[in-house]
Structure formats: C-alpha cells, structure tokens
C-alpha cells in the first residue's frame, strides 16, 4: 500500500511541536513513515497538487489546519462532483465512507483520502484508513547489516516478501517486511525466528516492547546518564504505564554529582576520567544502590563538538548495563555525527546492550 501525508497550512508547517505530534500519530497508525508534502492554503497550485497526489498514492492522508479544512473539502467535492453535508459535526462530502468529528474518509475509485481537521494545541482527530495486515516490523540484535541481508534475502524471495533493512546503530538492524501479491508473511516471520532465535525482536516499537516485557516479568529499571542527558529516560517515559517498571533516573552531568549521587570514587574521576569504563561501572553500581532496581543503564561520553582529545576524541562514549545480581557489561563506542546524533546513538546503544544482555527477557 503506497501512502503519503499532505500538510495544508503554513500554521502547521511552522509549528514544530504540532508537526511532531502529527507525524508521530501517522507513524503509529501506518507503522511506518510515508512521503510528506506541504502546501499553503493560498498556494495557486493547491488544486493541481491535490489532484496529482490522489493519482500517485493509494492512500492520501491530508492534515489540514482549521483555517484550511473547509477549502480542502470544497476542492475534493469539486474533483469528485459531490456536495458537502454535515456528518458527525464535520462538514464532509456526501459520498464519504466514514466520518467522525474532525476526520472523514473518502473513496475516489480505488484510492482512499482521509482528511483531518487539525486545531493547534488540541487532540488530533483519528486516522480512518483501513490497514493491511500484510506487513510487519522486527529488529535483529547483535548482527551486522551484511550478514542480515545475506541470511534474509533468500527467505524473502522464497516467501515473496519485500524488505527494507535499516541499521539503527551498529548491532541493531531494523527490518520492515511487506507481503507481495502472493506473499506469505506469517511463514516468513516464523522462518526468520527459527534462523535468528534470540537475536530477533518482533515489535513495531521496540521501546514499548522493552517496557511491556519489564512489566510482565516484574522487573524495575533505572538509568544513570551523563552525555545523553536523560534521553534514555525520556524515551522510556513516552510509553504509558512505564511507572510500573521505571524506578527513576539520575542525570549526573557534573563530576561532583557523579560523586555525591552515585558514589563514583574521586580517584576514578581523577585518574581514569568521567569518560571511562571504570566510571560507568561505578555509575551502574551507584544507580542500582540508589534505586533498588533490578537493572541499570549508564552512559558517559563526549558528544562534542568540543571536549575531545587524542586519547578520547569526540564521539567516545561508554555505555553499560548492570543488574542487582552483580552482572556488569560496559562497551566503548566511537561514534560520528553532530552532538544530537551522537547522543541518540548512545541511547540506542545502551538499549541495544540491554537487549543483548537479557535475551530471554526481551527477545
């Protein structure tokens, strides 16, 4: 199913918080991103753009600002030789298949168009397009991209599956699988599971999966973050119900707080430095002691653009996972990119290490 998102109205395009909300809801509904287009309400090419996208995609979702919604509905009525009527408090074409407050679904031949009225700082109306069950997403943990492709592609050909393989970070491969006309998606997934075993994570949203499994097994987790500045905790707290497994976290950016809050020995900071395997070991110990959690994650590194040295260049990051039973695993990374990209890579590496070190819990 080819699908796309059209944003109508400069007020939406210029509001990064609202745009992020719309895109997040879109991905949650379709389980993947689609091509995104923008057009102004007063653009003279609005009619042509809309007609072109309707022919190009099987499903077109139109997020129209409150000021643009009525205009879009009028244009669609003109294109489909229809009239507007009031359905469920929403002005929509009379031939709309389904309408609810702020959203309606229209069929144009075999194409489907879903128009949503977006009001700033308000809850989004629902996406109404029916979804195909002939696709799925999964992750492969602890395997490189080349090996992943070599092993997956013959299976995909056998079961008539198209693949999109994306390395999130080294050792964490994200795979989108879609059934072709006569594809067998369920048999493909079973075969992948048999091939990769405890390296396979079947979940559209791995963060939700991590939280769900922690809750299911009554495990609590905590974090001690330095270079990631609370990013891991932020990712976990996007999941509803996470309070059942997240004890709390400590962002110990300054060395003084690494000592005071986590009990990192001053000698470690003096001789090995905050960006070191020894420091992250101590951060894990301190986080577990402070929270009484079952599992702890820790990060410390140099996100840049300054602060690096010959021995520890920008992008040097240590991530670690520890358990109350005494397990400690710390890895040294050498990452590239700008500051924010290094921070996000660090967070995902910490979560990847969590998955790898607890395969029976998460995989």
What is the CATH number for 186?
Answer: 3.30.70.600
Q: Whole-prediction pTM value? A: 0.90
Could you tell me the sign of the dihedral formed by the alpha carbons of 181, 187, 191, 196, in that order?
A: positive
Rg (CA), the chain: 24
The answer to the question of residue 325 being in a domain is: yes
pLDDT, tens only, 198-246: 999 999 899 999 999 999 999 999 999 999 999 999 999 999 999 999 9
Q: What pLDDT is stored for residue 132 in this prediction?
A: 65
344 and 245 in a common domain: yes
Q: Do 224 and 89 share a structural domain?
A: no
Tell whether 224 and 358 lie within a shared domain.
Answer: yes
Q: Does residue 105 sit in the same domain as residue 184?
A: no
Number of domains in the chain: 3
Nearest of 324, 331, 336, 327 to residue 351 by alpha carbon: 331
- Which CATH number fits the domain that encloses residue 262? 3.90.950.20
Q: For residues 332 and 312, what is the distance between their CA atoms, to the nearest angstrom? A: 11
Evaluate if residue 35 carries a pLDDT over 70: yes
- Segment 241-246 long-range contacts (CB within 8 Å, at least 24 positions apart): 241/211, 241/215, 242/211, 244/215, 245/211, 245/214, 245/215, 245/219, 245/220, 245/221, 246/211, 246/220, 246/221, 246/222
Which band of pLDDT confidence, cut at 50, 70 and 90, is reported for residue 172? Answer: very high
pLDDT band, residue 133 (cuts 50/70/90): low
Residues 220 and 194 in one domain: no
Nearest Cα to Cα of residue 250 among 277, 276, 274, 284: 284
Instruction: Mark whether 354 and 219 lie in a shared domain.
Output: yes
Q: Dump pLDDT digits (tens) for 245-287.
A: 998 999 999 999 999 999 999 999 999 999 999 999 999 999 9
Look at residue 126 and tell me if it is in a domain.
no
Is 125 inside a domain boundary? no
In whole angstroms, what is the distance from residue 301 CA to residue 318 CA?
A: 6
Closest C-alpha among 328, 311, 297 to residue 224: 297
- Long-range contact pairs involving 150-153 (C-beta distance under 8 Å, separation at least 24): 151/195, 151/196, 152/192
pLDDT tens profile 286-337: 999 999 999 999 999 999 999 999 999 999 999 999 999 999 999 999 999 9
Say whether 44 sits in a helix, a strand or coil: coil
The pLDDT value given to residue 79:
87
Mean pLDDT (the chain, rounded)? 95
| Structure confidence at residue 261 (pLDDT) | 98
Residues 84, 90, 95, 96, CA torsion sign? positive
At 46-101, the pLDDT tens digits run: 999 999 999 999 999 999 999 999 999 999 999 889 999 998 888 899 999 999 99
The verdict on 89 and 19 lying in the same domain is yes
């Amino acid at each position: 199913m080819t699908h796309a998102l059209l944003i109508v109205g400069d007020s939406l395009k210029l509001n990064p918080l609202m745009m992020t909300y719309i895109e997040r809801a879109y991905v949650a509904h379709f389980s993947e991103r689609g091509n995104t287009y923008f057009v102004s309400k007063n653009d003279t090419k609005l009619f042509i753009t809309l007609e072109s996208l309707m022919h190009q995609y099987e499903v077109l979702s139109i997020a129209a600002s409150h000021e643009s919604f009525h205009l879009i509905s009028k244009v669609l009525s003109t294109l489909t030789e229809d009239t507007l009527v009031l359905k469920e408090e929403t002005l929509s074409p009379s031939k709309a298949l389904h309408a609810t407050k702020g959203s309606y679904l229209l069929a144009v031949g075999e194409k489907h168009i879903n128009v949503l009225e977006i009001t700033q700082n308000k809850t989004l109306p629902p996406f109404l397009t029916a979804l195909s069950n002939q696709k799925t997403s999964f992750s492969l943990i602890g395997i490189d991209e080349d090996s992943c492709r070599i092993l997956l592609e013959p299976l995909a050909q056998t079961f008539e599956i198209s693949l999109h393989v994306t390395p999130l970070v080294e050792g964490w491969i994200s795979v989108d699988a879609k059934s072709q006309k006569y594809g067998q998606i369920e048999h493909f997934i079973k075969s992948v599971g048999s091939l990769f075993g405890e390296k396979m994570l079947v979940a559209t949203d791995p963060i939700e999966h991590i939280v769900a499994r922690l809750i299911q097994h009554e495990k609590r987790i905590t974090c001690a973050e330095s270079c990631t500045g609370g990013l891991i905790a932020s990712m976990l707290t996007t999941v509803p119900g996470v309070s059942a497994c997240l004890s709390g976290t400590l962002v110990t950016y300054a060395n003084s707080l690494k000592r005071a809050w986590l009990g990192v020995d001053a000698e470690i900071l003096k001789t090995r430095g905050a960006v070191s395997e020894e420091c992250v070991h101590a951060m894990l110990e301190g986080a577990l002691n402070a929270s009484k959690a079952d599992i702890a994650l820790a990060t410390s590194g140099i996100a840049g653009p300054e602060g690096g040295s010959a021995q520890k260049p920008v992008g040097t990051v240590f991530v670690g996972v520890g358990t109350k039973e005494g397990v400690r695993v710390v890895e040294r990374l050498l990452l590239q990119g700008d500051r924010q990209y290094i921070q996000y890579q660090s967070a995902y590496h910490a979560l990847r290490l969590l998955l790898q070190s607890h395969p029976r819990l998460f995989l």
